[in-house]
Amino acid sequence: MRRPYPFHEIEPRWQQHWAAHETFRVANPGEPGFDASRPKFYVLDMFPYPSGAGLHVGHPEGYTATDITTRYKRMNGFNVLHPMGWDAFGLPAEQHAIKTGEHPRFNTQRNVDNFRRQLQALGFAYDWSREVNTTAPDYVRWTQWIFLQLYHSYFDETTKTARPIRELEERGLSREEIDAQRLAFVAEAPVNWSPSLGTVLANEEVDEWREKGETVERRPLKQWMLRITKFAERLLADLEPLDWPESIKISQRNWIGRSEGAQVRFALAEGEGSIEVFTTRPDTLFGATYMVLAPEHPLVERITTSAQREAVAAYRAACALKSDLDRTDLAKDKTGVATGAFAVNPVNGARIPVWIADYVLMGYGTGAIMAVPGHDERDLAFAEKFELPIVQVVQPAKEGVEWRGFVDDGTAIHSGFLDGLPTPEAKRRIIAWLEEKGVGQGRVTYKLRDWLFSRQRYWGEPFPIVWDQTTGRHEAIPESELPLLAPELDDYKPTGDPRGPLVKATDWIRYSETLQRETNTMPQWAGSCWYYLRYCDPRNEQRFVSAEAEKYWMGGRSEAPVRGGVDLYVGGTEHAVLHLLYARFWHKVLFDLGHVSTAEPFQRLVNQGLILGENGQKMSKSLGNVVNPDDVVRDYGADSLRLFEMFMGPLTDSKPWSTAGVQGVHRFLARVWRLVMDEQATEGTWEISPALQDVAPSPAVLKALHAAIKKVTADIEAMAFNTAISALMVASNELGRAEVRPLSAVRTLLVLLSPFAPHLTDELWDALARKFGGPTGLCCEQPWPKHDESLLVEDEVEIVVQIAGKMRDKLTVKKDLPAAEIEALVLALPKIAEALAGKAPKKVIVVPGRLVNVVP
């Protein structure tokens, strides 16, 4: 097969060379070869889940962008940490194990090997000696160790930091009091239990199995939770200074969902007790005409009257069967049942009915609301359906606006002492009143919930926890027993026990006479919460990362007002919230406990866009528009794939694949090849072109070259790789036009192209060195060139001449010609004289070096 250039030979050769010479290995402080004089730069990719399907062309997009940045920074004299690894726990491997009976680690290993092969075929400058795998025992060990840090910590409300549990013990708190404060704690929480499958499902699996006809219900189980809610305020505040896309910051803010309002206590009309509600609109308290409890609210049992008992029980049972999705999706139509109980509105003594309805969520606020149907859309819909009273307590500012369902700020009305107050003022007044009367207080609530950290799965990190069968208490196992690995099983099929597949391993569970192991495992998020730290010191057997390595790679740099951490983190928007929030949470705990040196893990975040199929639709097997990188590498080479993915458009945009586009950049690379090489009579035999000579470049070539240096440098800094490539094309076209191609200019072009097309440029660099001698080392190890601004200045500039804003003529003048002289020259032009017809112009705008606009 005839190829425009022999990429199929040179690419594997250079990949082997880089691997054999450990070209991209970077030393830690204290290790041989470490150069302390260089600044550090940490470039991180979101590591992949190694699926059986292999790499997708979407993966190399972000990876190529970080690779270019890595290589560019290296050439600029940085110590660059650029690692890769595997987020290898996950459901597909477990499902494979269930089907085949083979331990998931084998399937995982095969997939990892395939992913590594595919990534290495793309020539990425990873330091493979730092590869991590979240399922490896020496990694699991430290994930479990971090869990124990959480388990042995509490949140100190005065310092707002994580502190060791030991402090509580020293203060003499009881075991119960301590357990109630641990950052890792146990609570009853509903899981998606499928009786027909005999297994627990992840939220994202529920729909899929329902469609296949399986049943899924909510069932409360003892679950491990992480107290992320305590960190809500810090997670919110520390987001501010990060160099992240604004859209991601907004997503995180929304997820945390801070809202200010008041907690109000409504006494029950009959009997003892009261109902606490949270509201952001305490100013509408006079308009509360009924109350609603979440169906799961603990008070329901107690307050329901005997007449309503049956209806309430039936409603609660129906709600229990619904998944979260059903409750939100289908519930446009409000449902609910009266409990028969009544409460008293503290502001006006009104006796109002208490209902239960699933539009009130147990997990938010207090799980109970005061309903103000006049000024809340949901309450209004409910009140209309069940014919509950609706009263106005807010007057819209604008005339003629319907007050029913008016939810914006206005003026209080029919609200006693609040009447006439604007909403914000009314809120302040009523909160002061509630506090004074002791029936409520101002309060901040977050949408963020504590992190449900247990999974009833096999292929995840087991909890380093045992349960005392006599006391029912949990205990941490000693750190010396880590890693705690899951036992081998005969088969991985569901057991029908909602505690998960590990219950089958009876020997493993039995820890001692009285102690039994926890059978839950950690979620996939656990490993990805701290992998960026392990990369800093991946083979350390004493610590999860040494203090020195952590401080060096994650520490702040002096030249910028940075907060430290990873300098550049690139990945998809699908991790906008969960991964990035969980990792930030763990990082803060580790920071509080003194294990890491910065409060935030990722200083700068960039999201690459989606690569769509050639038809503009999302790539998917069912649409048959999936592009396999292996095929592209086979047909056009890795350099072409890399270059095309960067040339398609801006990194952060979604853009469609185009085979013709790959051919375009492939042709460009072939032209660069032929700038240097000449094909001989025998097909595929190449020698240095006779047109390439060691001569001084012409001024035109020099200028084109330095323009390219300037543009490519600025564009890589800005991650505008598409326009950087365009500049390289312009420069190479210019060079190709010359009869004689000067060696020095060609070499500079190769250096500029090297981060984008490393195989081609290392090959040509090497060929030139063999023929002409010159600089030693690989092309990718050359210093990055600097442009000479003096070569770019023009002594003459073209000025655009406009009449009334429309381009009419052009004029070439000396660069520094004063505005008055330019104006005189322009007014003397025949076209201008004609347009003015002897009259003086109304206005003349002169923008020196650019244009003159004459307004007649």
Partner RNA sequence: GCCGAGGUGGCGAAAUCGGAAGACGCGCCAGACUUAGGAUCUGGUUCCGCAAGGAGUAAGGGUUCAAGUCCCUUCCUCGGCACCA
Residues numbered 365 to 394 that lie near RNA (CB under 7 A) are 365, 367, 369, 376, 378
Q: Measured from the CB atom, is 145 or 255 closer to RNA?
A: 255
Report the distance separating Cα 216 and Cα 220, nearest Å: 13
Q: Should residue 625 be labelled a site residue for RNA when binding is judged by CB under 7 A?
A: no
Within 720-739, the residues that bind RNA by CB under 7 A are 720, 722-723, 725-726, 729-730, 733, 736-737
Q: Should residue 281 be labelled a site residue for RNA when binding is judged by CB under 7 A?
A: yes
**Binding mask of the shown chain, residues 644 to 673, with x at each position contacting RNA by CB under 7 A:** ---xxxx--xxxx-x-xx-xxx-xx-xx--
Residue from 51, 114, 280, 441 touching RNA (CB under 7 A): that is: 280
Least CB distance from residue 57 to RNA, whole Å? 14
Residue from 48, 190, 261, 571 touching RNA (CB under 7 A): that is: 261
In this structure, are strands 451-452 and 217-226 parallel, antiparallel, or unpaired? antiparallel
Least CB distance from residue 162 to RNA, whole Å? 24
**Cα separations in angstroms, 358 against 38, 283, 385:** 60, 25, 15
Least CB distance from residue 767 to RNA, whole Å? 19
Least CB distance from residue 517 to RNA, whole Å? 34
What token pair was written down for 526?
């656990």
Choose one: 58-66, 84-92, 150-158, 643-651; the region binding RNA (CB under 7 A). 643-651
Which H/E stretch holds residue 338? strand 337-344
List beta partners, residue 43.
Answer: 568
Least CB distance from residue 333 to RNA, whole Å? 8
Within 340-359, the residues that bind RNA by CB under 7 A are 358-359
Report the distance separating Cα 371 and Cα 394, nearest Å: 14
Q: Count residues near RNA (CB under 7 A).
A: 79
Residue from 187, 623, 696, 855 touching RNA (CB under 7 A): that is: 855
Q: Should residue 254 be labelled a site residue for RNA when binding is judged by CB under 7 A?
A: yes
Q: Measured from the CB atom, is 27 or 330 closer to RNA?
A: 330
Of 289, 280, 288, 287, the closest CA to residue 424 belongs to: 280
Q: Should residue 634 be labelled a site residue for RNA when binding is judged by CB under 7 A?
A: no
Least CB distance from residue 799 to RNA, whole Å? 8
Report the distance separating Cα 191 and Cα 222, nearest Å: 9
Cβ(425)–Cβ(409) below 8 Å: no
Q: Measured from the CB atom, is 240 or 490 closer to RNA?
A: 240
Q: Should residue 56 be labelled a site residue for RNA when binding is judged by CB under 7 A?
A: no
Q: How does DSSP assign 684-744, residue by residue? A: T-EEE-TTEES-PPPHHHHHHHHHHHHHHHHHHHTT-HHHHHHHHHHHHHHHHHSSSEEHH
Q: Measured from the CB atom, is 85 or 353 closer to RNA?
A: 353
Residue from 209, 364, 403, 686 touching RNA (CB under 7 A): that is: 364
Q: Measured from the CB atom, is 695 or 855 closer to RNA?
A: 855
Which H/E stretch holds residue 200? strand 199-201
Q: Measured from the CB atom, is 54 or 572 closer to RNA?
A: 572
Taken in order 483, 488, 489, 491, the sign of the CA dihedral is positive
Q: Measured from the CB atom, is 726 or 744 closer to RNA?
A: 726
Least CB distance from residue 682 to RNA, whole Å? 14
Mention every residue, 6+ apart, whose C-beta is less than 8 A from residue 275. Answer: 265, 266, 268, 291, 293, 299, 343, 354, 368
Q: Measured from the CB atom, is 421 or 801 closer to RNA?
A: 801
Cβ(462)–Cβ(517) below 8 Å: yes
Least CB distance from residue 647 to RNA, whole Å? 6
Q: Should residue 428 be labelled a site residue for RNA when binding is judged by CB under 7 A?
A: no
Q: Should residue 401 be labelled a site residue for RNA when binding is judged by CB under 7 A?
A: no
Within 548-587, the residues that bind RNA by CB under 7 A are 573-574, 576
Which CB contacts under 8 angstroms, 24+ apart, belong to 810-818? 811/852, 815/849, 817/848, 818/848
Q: What is the 3-state secondary structure (H, E, C) of 4-41?
A: CCCHHHHHHHHHHHHHHCCCCCCCCCCCCCCCCCCCEE
Q: Should residue 1 be labelled a site residue for RNA when binding is judged by CB under 7 A?
A: no
Q: Should residue 127 be labelled a site residue for RNA when binding is judged by CB under 7 A?
A: no
**Binding mask of the shown chain, residues 775 to 804, with x at each position contacting RNA by CB under 7 A:** -----------------------x-x-x-x
Report the distance separating Cα 625 and Cα 616, nearest Å: 9
Choose one: 62-70, 245-253, 529-537, 562-570; the region binding RNA (CB under 7 A). 245-253
Q: Measured from the CB atom, is 171 or 843 closer to RNA?
A: 843
User: DSSP class of residue 484?
Assistant: -
* Cα angle value 151/154/159 (rounded, 5°): 150
Q: Measured from the CB atom, is 338 or 502 closer to RNA?
A: 338
Report the distance separating Cα 786 and Cα 842, nearest Å: 47
Of 756, 759, 763, the closest CA to residue 724 belongs to: 756
Q: Measured from the CB atom, is 433 or 721 closer to RNA?
A: 721
Least CB distance from residue 573 to RNA, whole Å? 6
Q: Should residue 604 be labelled a site residue for RNA when binding is judged by CB under 7 A?
A: no
Q: Measured from the CB atom, is 384 or 468 closer to RNA?
A: 384
Least CB distance from residue 744 to RNA, whole Å? 22
Within 736-755, the residues that bind RNA by CB under 7 A are 736-737
Least CB distance from residue 594 to RNA, whole Å? 33
**Binding mask of the shown chain, residues 443 to 482, with x at each position contacting RNA by CB under 7 A:** --x-x-----------------------------------
Q: Measured from the CB atom, is 479 or 653 closer to RNA?
A: 653
Choose one: 302-310, 330-338, 425-433, 555-563; the region binding RNA (CB under 7 A). 330-338
Measured between its terminal Cα atoms, the distance across the chain in Å is 66
Report the distance separating Cα 651 and Cα 65, nearest Å: 8
Within 703-722, the residues that bind RNA by CB under 7 A are 720, 722
Which H/E stretch holds residue 468? strand 465-468
Q: Measured from the CB atom, is 237 or 660 closer to RNA?
A: 660
Least CB distance from residue 275 to RNA, whole Å? 12
Least CB distance from residue 855 to RNA, whole Å? 5
Cβ(373)–Cβ(390) below 8 Å: yes
Q: Should residue 160 be labelled a site residue for RNA when binding is judged by CB under 7 A?
A: no
Mention every residue, 6+ apart, whose C-beta is less than 8 A from residue 542. Answer: none
C-alpha 637, offset from chain centre: 30
Q: Should residue 250 be labelled a site residue for RNA when binding is judged by CB under 7 A?
A: yes
Taken in order 748, 749, 752, 756, the sign of the CA dihedral is negative
| C-alpha Rg value of the chain to the nearest Å | 34
Q: Should residue 507 be labelled a site residue for RNA when binding is judged by CB under 7 A?
A: no
Least CB distance from residue 128 to RNA, whole Å? 32
Least CB distance from residue 679 to RNA, whole Å? 10
Q: How does DSSP assign 773-826, residue by residue? A: --S-S-GGGSPPP---GGGT--SEEEEEEEETTEEEEEEEEETT--HHHHHHHH
Q: Should residue 274 be labelled a site residue for RNA when binding is judged by CB under 7 A?
A: no
Least CB distance from residue 361 to RNA, whole Å? 4
Residue 553 phi/psi, 5° resolution? Answer: -75, -35
Taken in order 292, 298, 300, 302, the sign of the CA dihedral is negative
Q: How does DSSP assign 40-83, residue by residue? A: EEEEEEPPPP--TT---TTHHHHHHHHHHHHHHHHHTT-EEE--
Q: Measured from the CB atom, is 19 or 314 closer to RNA?
A: 314
Of 451, 774, 677, 421, the closest CA to residue 581 belongs to: 451
Choose one: 65-73, 215-223, 279-287, 303-311; the region binding RNA (CB under 7 A). 279-287
